[in-house]
């Protein structure tokens, strides 16, 4: 594309449509700027890789990331003092998330920040068995439901949940929102304490927040540690701290959400 652009530029100059002196002046201005800021079109991959390894994952950067994630958490609603959630030994927490990895990230973060021996169960919106899920909802002491809007891309998900044992339970992406709404309605009918968490753009609060006793917004759901032992991300760590009362929610809604702050 660049070669074609240069060829076209030369042609326009030759045809008299562009002034050669003006083009030369523009080119020199670009060169001067590149020299001033030490920019180069040449890339030494080995040097670039060494620099990246020194910078990426730097502890000070991760600390800043964690602080930003915590500062962003927004408490939108907290009826009947639902937050912080009250956990005791053998409390049952049911987590609903867009996929299993996010369930695990929140579960592990909550386990890390509570001294209680808590029982966790999970529903992935990529697919779930309705009867087993309804049983888990009915048995839960607290339900934490997360939703990401706009929907995640395949790259963001990082892979599909393994539904090979029963692929008939897989849920199409377009149906995951309605599936979540139905689960929240069932939880409400069962009088379950429910926390809704908006994981991305908080406009989905207008749809799902009505079924929850408390609403939080994180604006992020990235997972940066995912191995055989641990699944974690700064947004989930911050969320867990707020949920269990280790830290207060400090953020404010940056947009207008219908039914929340549009009066």
pLDDT value at residue 215? 99
pLDDT value at residue 189? 97
Q: Mean pLDDT over residues 106-118, rounded?
A: 96
Containing 142, the helix (H) or strand (E) segment is strand 142-147
Name the fold adopted by 62-243: Rossmann fold (3.40.50)
pLDDT value at residue 79? 97
pLDDT value at residue 160? 55
pLDDT value at residue 58? 84
Q: Mean pLDDT over residues 246-263, rounded?
A: 91
- DSSP-assigned letters across all residues of 220-260: -----EESSS-EE-HHHHHHHHHHTTSS------SS--TTT
The CA distance from 6 to 143, in Å, is 60
In this structure, are residues 233 and 181 in contact, taking their beta carbons and an 8 Å threshold? no
pLDDT value at residue 54? 78
**Reported confidence tier of residue 195, pLDDT bands at 50, 70, 90:** very high
- Global pTM? 0.78
pLDDT value at residue 241? 98
pLDDT value at residue 165? 54
pLDDT value at residue 163? 53
Q: Mean pLDDT over residues 13-17, rounded?
A: 93
Predicted confidence (pLDDT) per residue in 156-186, tens digit: 655 556 555 556 678 888 899 999 999 999 9
pLDDT value at residue 182? 98
Q: Mean pLDDT over residues 195-202, rounded?
A: 98
pLDDT value at residue 45? 81
Output the CA–CA distances (angstroms, integers) from residue 8 to 12, 17, 22, 57, in the order listed: 6, 11, 16, 43
Structure tokens belonging to residue 184: 């929240």
The yes-or-no verdict on residue 53 having pLDDT over 90 is: no
Structure tokens belonging to residue 224: 């940066």
The CA distance from 66 to 234, in Å, is 5
The yes-or-no verdict on residue 131 having pLDDT over 80 is: yes
């Amino acid at each position: 594309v660049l070669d074609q652009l240069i060829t076209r530029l030369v042609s326009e100059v030759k045809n008299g449509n562009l002034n050669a002196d003006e083009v030369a002046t523009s080119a020199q201005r670009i060169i001067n700027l590149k020299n001033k800021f030490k920019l180069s079109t040449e890339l030494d991959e080995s040097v670039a890789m060494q620099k990246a390894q020194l910078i990426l994952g730097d502890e000070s950067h991760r600390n800043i990331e964690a602080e930003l994630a915590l500062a962003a958490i927004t408490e939108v609603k907290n009826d009947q003092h639902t937050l912080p959630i009250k956990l005791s030994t053998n409390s049952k927490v049911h987590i609903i998330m867009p996929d299993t990895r996010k369930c695990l990230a929140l579960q592990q973060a909550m386990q890390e920040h509570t001294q209680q021996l808590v029982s966790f169960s999970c529903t992935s919106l990529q697919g779930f068995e309705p009867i087993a899920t309804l049983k888990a909802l009915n048995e839960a002491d607290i339900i934490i439901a997360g939703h990401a809007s706009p929907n995640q891309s395949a790259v963001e998900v990082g892979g599909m949940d393994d539904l090979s044992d029963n692929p008939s339970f897989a849920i199409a992406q377009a149906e995951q929102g309605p599936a979540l709404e139905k689960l929240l309605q069932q939880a409400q009918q069962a009088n379950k304490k429910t926390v809704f968490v908006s994981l991305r753009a908080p406009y989905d609060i207008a749809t799902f927040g009505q079924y929850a006793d408390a609403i939080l917004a994180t604006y992020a759901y990235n997972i940066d540690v995912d191995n055989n032992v641990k699944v974690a991300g700064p947004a989930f760590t911050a969320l867990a701290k707020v949920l269990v009362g280790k830290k207060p929610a400090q953020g404010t809604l940056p947009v207008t959400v219908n039914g929340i702050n549009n009066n």
